């Protein structure tokens, strides 16, 4: 079995960045930039006031200065008359000849004259041209995932559209005789198929376009046909269930039958040991275990980073942070355990039920705590790496 790090590296090594396309600003949120975005001119484009008040030449400030003219946002600024103050508003361009702003709370106006409580320093409350970015500088780098603040930046730079990497096409195929669609009737041992809605949501959050098939029974011919059909149009095929070694686990055989070259199919982690990874042509295959927690955890730690890497995302891998255990934790050695845990002021506490089919524990957890494969016990106060479920999309 591969270690967690080995398997993650092998998965990412399969990723090739997809072609670029241009999308409108309205469609850019969550997409990954395919090229650096450069500033066409200095930004901001002119000196502007950051306060309501009076624009002055700092060296000329005296008592009872005459007030001449006004500068407001969206209008061209007047020239500053010698030894006078110009009324100015937040965001308005600085009058030519002015080098400071005195906020109105520091001013006493008497008709067309104004007296200030203090003398300003040159540059006070002035946002200078090019303070943020100079012409030609990179505003947003290639590989940046477009956030709400990125959209504000792009709009401020007059970008109506932007080059992004094409969204990966993901096909999800759940397998299993016991599965039925939620809300439908089935036999006494049937269960509602719950993995594909969760995985589809996680993939879409990572920037993919997703199609999901109905559950396919554990019949080799039918599973093989379903996989072959999906592989004709997708960039990533995600299969769910049937990747272990039971008599009814046909996924591995079906993948090989439709021409998939398997890279590996077991990882020394808990939950999620059975994980099949391979490729047919340019399409990548992730064969996930069927237990809900195993499926979601493995997709969060392998599938989502793969989708991000295929978009050239500079932050493809999830970030781990260090926290302290609030209570001691026992661990069976041999595999890295990604344990569901709650976070409190005292630290991280592992939840009692760590079964791979217990989705309720995942719903009640805040983080996955990483317990090393060779550790039998961790005392309270020990440092552990944790992955935020919110960041993982779980």
Residue 56 sits in a domain of what CATH number?
Answer: 2.170.190.11
Q: Give the per-residue pLDDT at 316.
A: 95
Whether residues 357 and 386 fall in one domain? yes
Q: Give the per-residue pLDDT at 284.
A: 98
Whether residues 341 and 375 fall in one domain? yes
Tokens 């950051």 locate to 50
With H, G, I as helix, E, B as strand and everything else as coil, classify residue 201.
Answer: helix
Distance CA 190, CA 243 (A): 19
pTM of the predicted model as reported, rounded to 2 decimal places = 0.88
- Assign residue 136 a region: left if phi > 0, alpha if psi is -120 to 50, beta otherwise? left
Whether residues 276 and 247 fall in one domain? yes
- 133 inside domain: no
Whether residues 351 and 253 fall in one domain? no
Q: Are 2 and 267 in contact (CB under 8 A)?
A: yes
Helix count (H) and strand count (E) of the chain?
9, 28
- 256 inside domain: yes
Whether residues 220 and 156 fall in one domain? no
- 32 inside domain: yes
Sign of CA dihedral 232, 238, 241, 245: positive
Domain span at residue 183 reads: 4-18+167-310
- 64 inside domain: yes
Q: Are 269 and 369 in contact (CB under 8 A)?
A: no
Q: Are 370 and 384 in contact (CB under 8 A)?
A: yes
Distance CA 252, CA 175 (A): 12
Tokens 């932007």 locate to 162
Structure tokens at 235: 């960039």
Q: Give the per-residue pLDDT at 57.
A: 97
Least Cα distance to 384 among 333, 337, 318, 332 occurs for 337
CA 75 to chain centre: 39
Whether residues 328 and 363 fall in one domain? yes
- 224 inside domain: yes
Whether residues 31 and 79 fall in one domain? no
State pLDDT tens for residues 284-316: 999 999 999 999 999 999 999 999 999 999 999
Q: Consecutive 10-residue runs of the chain (394 residues): their mean pLDDT?
A: 94 96 96 96 95 97 95 95 97 97 95 94 96 95 96 94 97 94 88 94 97 95 96 97 75 94 93 93 95 95 97 95 94 93 95 89 95 93 96 92
Whether residues 73 and 154 fall in one domain? no
Last residue of a domain, one of 310, 338, 359: 310
């Amino acid at each position: 079995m591969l270690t967690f790090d080995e398997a993650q590296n092998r998965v990412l090594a399969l990723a090739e960045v997809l072609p670029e396309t241009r999308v409108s600003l309205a469609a850019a949120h969550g997409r990954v930039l395919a090229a650096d975005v450069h500033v066409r001119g200095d930004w901001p484009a002119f000196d502007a006031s950051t306060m309501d008040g009076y624009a002055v030449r700092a060296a000329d400030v005296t008592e009872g200065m005459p007030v001449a003219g006004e500068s407001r946002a969206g209008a061209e600024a007047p020239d500053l008359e010698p030894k006078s103050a110009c009324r100015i508003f937040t965001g308005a361009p600085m009058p030519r000849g002015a080098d400071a702003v005195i906020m109105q709370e520091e001013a006493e106006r008497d008709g067309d004259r104004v007296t200030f409580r203090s003398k300003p320093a040159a540059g006070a409350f002035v946002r200078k041209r090019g303070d943020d970015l100079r012409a030609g500088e990179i505003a947003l780098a290639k590989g940046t995932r477009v956030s709400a603040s990125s959209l504000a930046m792009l709009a401020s730079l007059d970008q109506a559209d932007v080059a992004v990497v094409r969204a990966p096409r993901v096909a999800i195929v759940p397998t299993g005789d016991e599965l039925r669609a939620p809300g439908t009737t089935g036999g006494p041992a049937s269960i509602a198929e719950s993995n594909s809605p969760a995985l589809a949501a996680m993939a879409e959050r990572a920037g993919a376009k997703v199609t999901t098939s109905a559950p396919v029974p554990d019949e080799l011919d039918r599973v093989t046909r379903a996989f072959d059909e999906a592989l004709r149009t997708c960039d990533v095929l995600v299969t769910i269930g049937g990747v272990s070694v039971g008599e009814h686990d046909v996924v591995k055989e079906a993948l090989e039958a439709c021409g998939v070259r398997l890279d590996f199919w077991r990882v020394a982690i808990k939950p999620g040991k059975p994980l099949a990874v391979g490729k047919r042509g340019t399409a990548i295959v992730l064969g996930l275990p069927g237990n809900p927690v195993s499926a979601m955890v493995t997709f969060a730690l392998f599938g989502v980073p793969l989708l991000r890497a295929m978009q050239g995302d500079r932050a493809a891998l999830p970030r781990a942070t260090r926290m302290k255990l609030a209570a001691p934790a026992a661990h069976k050695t041999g595999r890295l355990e990604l344990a569901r845990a709650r976070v409190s002021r005292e630290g991280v506490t592992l939840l009692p039920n760590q079964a791979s089919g217990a989705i309720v524990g995942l719903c009640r957890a805040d983080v996955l705590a990483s317990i090393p494969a060779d550790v039998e016990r961790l005392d309270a106060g020990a440092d552990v790496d944790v992955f935020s479920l919110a960041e993982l999309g779980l």
